[in-house]
Chain A
Amino acid sequence: MLIINIVGVILIALIVWWFWLYKPKEAELGENDLVITVENGTYSPSRIKVPAGEPVELKFIRKDESPCSETLLIPELQISDTLPLNKLKSIQLPALKTGEYAFHCQMQMYRGQLTVY
């Protein structure tokens, strides 16, 4: 029984670490060739480094049929847009200050983050 309890506690610790504490690698917004794929409930890549102080363009392609994935919101920038299915969609971002900006779907089930450096 003790072992089971320890396993349970470890499991909880793993959940906390994996979903909250771990900071996954960030993809860099390179020479216009980064495309964020919206598929299977995720943005991929979901963490993107973006240079500060210059307008940039994010490109999305949605392959997920779920209507949840259709809307893209970047609340801090007051951007909300619709991603068409299977079509490249560009989102223009103004010059940004350094910091972190979340982007997500309407229900926050699809989530990503822009790190402006």
Chain B
Amino acid sequence: MSSTNTESGSDSCHDGGTTNHHAHEAPHHGQADNAGLQELIIEGAGCASCVGKIESALKAVPGVESAEMNFAQRTVSVTGNAQADSLVSAVEKAGYNAKLAAAESEDDALAEKEQADWAYYKRLMREMTIALSLGVPLMIYSVVGGEMTVSTTGERLAWLVVGLLTLGVMVISGKHFFVGAWQSFKNHSANMDTLIALGTGTAWVYSMVVVFVPHVVPEMARHVYFEASAMIIGLIDLGLALELKARGRTSEAIKRLIGLQAKTARVIRDDKELDIAIEQVLMDDVVRVRPGEKIPVDGEVVEGHSAIDESMLTGEPMPVEKAIGDTVAAGTINKSGSILFKATRVGKDTALAQIINMVKRAQNSKPPIGRLADVISAYFVPVVMIIAVTSALAWLNFGPDPAVAFAMVSATTVLIIACPCALGLATPMSVMVGVGKAAEAGVLIRNGEALQTASKISAMILDKTGTITLGAPKVTDILVAGEQDEDAILKLAATLESGSEHPLALAIVESAQEKGIETGKVSNFNAIAGHGVQAEVDGKTLLFGNEKLMSERNIELGDFVEKAQVLAAEAKTPMYFAVDNLLSAIIAVADPIKEDSIVAIKRLQHNGIRVVMLTGDNRATAKAVAEKAGIKEFFAEVLPEDKSKKVQELQMEGEVVGMTGDGINDAPALAIANVGFAIGTGTDVAIESADITLMRGSLHGLADAIAVSKATLHNIKQNLFGAFIYNVAGVPFAAGVLYPFFGLLLSPVIAGAAMAFSSLTVVTNANRLRLFKAQEH
């Protein structure tokens, strides 16, 4: 037994204590969260007797309390506080290979899958070659007019040899069809294998009957169809092999994402820099990344500064400056300086790993449009079998001589031409490519349903702050009442707002900081949702908020109302500041519109989408921003809890509503919208909170998402249409409905070719989506 061989684990033995470490859905906690328990994957343990050896090797490591091996899964659970590397080296000393369980990386899994696919491809090609090297000569012989009937003893003997050769082909090249057919038959289910096995089997059995007991068949019908059996098996094997190749291309996007992952990381432990496998990086490890290297895990910069290229995750082409305290994400590239950062998320918890996981899940989910095809697929095979029997009966009853031969040919052809695969593949293949394509553009689509609905969006609600605008407002004007000191007012206002997390509050605090004004102490802070805030500072009652708040408290505003209107018309947000119920100033804050928002909104409008802006700001500010952004409709002064009502209002008007917000404040509105878009800046996005997540801040992501969805849905429709038409037209044609009119009856070999290439066509058409490009911007 070699200690380096990877045990395939193909034995089905299993025991009771299996763990769930490979489960994607299971909440995965790396060893870092769970200091007491570590899991190792063991390679090279081929026999049960290895278990004791490995366990005792691990127990000998200082700090290990227990070590239990699960032989079926080739994993060991180790408790205690021993270092992971010492566990690995203990197992290696015992003659086996080990890695931490998290080491079952996407990369490894992908490599393994590709290897398995390649092996399967080679096997199919080999089987195809064997089948066609018998099928093609026979086929040529029959086409050039060779004698395919059986009348003399010599012919019987010759065909017997060919029949046995065909049997050999069926066993060598077509065994998987027959075994699969039998297994599913036993399970009371039927699939593609059933049809192929029945079709080729019928042709072969009929031909053998002709060879062995010709007299039971009318003389005219003493024809053999060995070439059909061999050709069909060869062609379908070829189709499967080509389909496998084409399928590989459909997952290119996910491969690219997985490829972003670094393989090793340089961590600093005990003042030494170590190069370790990325799976062994623990939380709180300090990692060094030099210029040109990939960031291996998520973390927070603790030393140095650099520009980081995050385009692979966000689609944002400009590198982002990072300094101490900023977060960095796995898979992005360090461009300029050397940095040290502390790992905050490792393994399956990194943003990249979560993105990969989400894209994978979305790629496998189905939009509602595919459901009809699913229902049909579920009944398809038995229905085809019934049609085959009915067709054979029709030929026997009403067909011309030799009716038996016609009946057999039509039944075989019906069984072979019907292709449930094309129908079944139509939707998933397009979704796979479409979702992947979107991910490449920084658009994460949660599932097939979101994809389909996004293609139908007729109205798009955009939250103003942080969506259309940068979401980083700045103080632009301070208009004081009477003879008050501007800085003193700013100090009070900043003190009051230091307790708030509202973006406008942040602007005021920042403005005070810029002027070197220190904030004081605040008490009895109270946020009045949608209106403003109230608190006490130095014994004074401070009130800061909109006109509504002031009028509710009966505060005289005088000519400041007009001043506020002027500010609002300039797209600024004026807020009233009152001290002890007396108006003291207006502080205006403005949030600049993102550079590309205007163009992106135009793109949406060009696509016939009604764009509506939503904001908590007053009407005048809202109007000014909307005008600047080129939006005709807006809802102003909307309280946070009323955002979802606005979504419903548009839905009542019959619109399919998309809602775009930052995913945190707007969660209820995002949830109620037909499609909720969460807009993120950088990689720290809440990808669980919306139907579609835009990883970069630009609104172009919206137009891209809608364009990709439309293209994908179009592709699915083409596929479904093609598959439906193929089956609806193919099956009756195979049964011979054209024979009474034109004397046409399809050959089973042609049916085999059509079947093999129908599913290939679907996959190839889905692959065309890879060429999709969102409109240039």
Contacts and interface: CB of A to CB of B under 8 A. Distances in A.
B550 to A, nearest CB: 49
B60 interface: no
Among B10, B112, B184, B185, find the residue whose CB has the most chain A CB atoms closer than 10 A: B184
A49 interface: no
A22 B185 CA distance: 12
B665 interface: no
A60 B22 CA distance: 11
B397 A1 contact: yes
B29 interface: no
Interface in A33-89: 33, 35, 37, 39-44, 46, 57, 59, 61, 63, 65-68, 70-71, 73, 75, 78-82, 84-89
A106 B425 contact: yes
B524 interface: no
A40 B10 contact: no
B424 interface: yes
Nearest to A70: B113
Interface residues of B, number: 71
B24 A109 contact: no
B125 to A, nearest CB: 13
Given A46-B189, A80-B361, A90-B26, A8 B183 contact: no
Interface stretch (B114-122, B208-216, B714-722): B114-122
Contact of A33 (B16, B117, B385, B386): B16
A11 B23 contact: no
Contact of A8 (B8, B189, B360, B389): B389
B299 to A, nearest CB: 28
A91 interface: yes
A61 to B, nearest CB: 6
Given A80-B365, A89-B22, A19 B183 contact: no
A35 B188 CA distance: 20
A73 B14 CA distance: 23
Interface string A1-37: 1001100100110011011101010000001110101
A83 to B, nearest CB: 10
Contact of A81 (B25, B179, B389): B25
B191 interface: yes
B190 interface: yes
B377 A42 contact: no
A103 interface: no
A103 to B, nearest CB: 13
Contacts of A78: 365, 447
Contacts of B3: none
Given A32-B18, A67-B117, A19 B382 contact: yes
Nearest to B379: A20
Interface string B18-51: 1110111110000000000000000000000000
B389 A11 contact: yes
Contacts of A24: 187-188
Interface string B177-210: 0011111110111111100000000000000000
A59 B14 contact: yes
Contacts of B120: 65-67
Contact of B393 (A4, A57, A63, A92): A4
B567 to A, nearest CB: 49
Contacts of B381: 19
Nearest to A77: B25
A46 B393 CA distance: 34
Interface of B is mostly: helix
A75 B366 contact: yes
Nearest to A93: B25
Contacts of B397: 1, 5
Interface in B375-411: 377-379, 381-382, 385-386, 389-390, 392-393, 396-397
Contact of B188 (A19, A73, A75): A19
Among A71, A84, A85, A92, find the residue whose CB has the most chain B CB atoms closer than 10 A: A85
B22 A108 contact: no
Contacts of B392: 8
Contacts of B189: 19, 42, 46, 111
Nearest to B244: A67
B420 interface: yes
B74 to A, nearest CB: 9
A40 B180 CA distance: 4
Interface string B69-95: 000110000000000000000000000
B389 A107 contact: no
A40 B183 contact: yes
A43 B390 CA distance: 30
Given A32-B16, A79-B25, A87-B9, A109 B364 contact: no
B582 interface: no
Interface string B402-446: 000000000000000000110111001000000000000000000
Contacts of B247: 67
Nearest to B19: A90
B547 interface: no
B276 to A, nearest CB: 25
B425 to A, nearest CB: 6
B12 interface: yes
B590 to A, nearest CB: 43
Nearest to B423: A107
Interface in B585-609: none
Interface of A: 1, 4-5, 8, 11-12, 15-16, 18-20, 22, 24, 31-33, 35, 37, 39-44, 46, 57, 59, 61, 63, 65-68, 70-71, 73, 75, 78-82, 84-92, 106-111
> Closest 3 A-B residue pairs measured CB to CB?
A107-B424, A80-B364, A41-B180
11 contacts: A1-B397, A35-B14, A42-B183, A42-B189, A65-B116, A67-B120, A67-B244, A89-B23, A106-B364, A109-B421, A111-B189
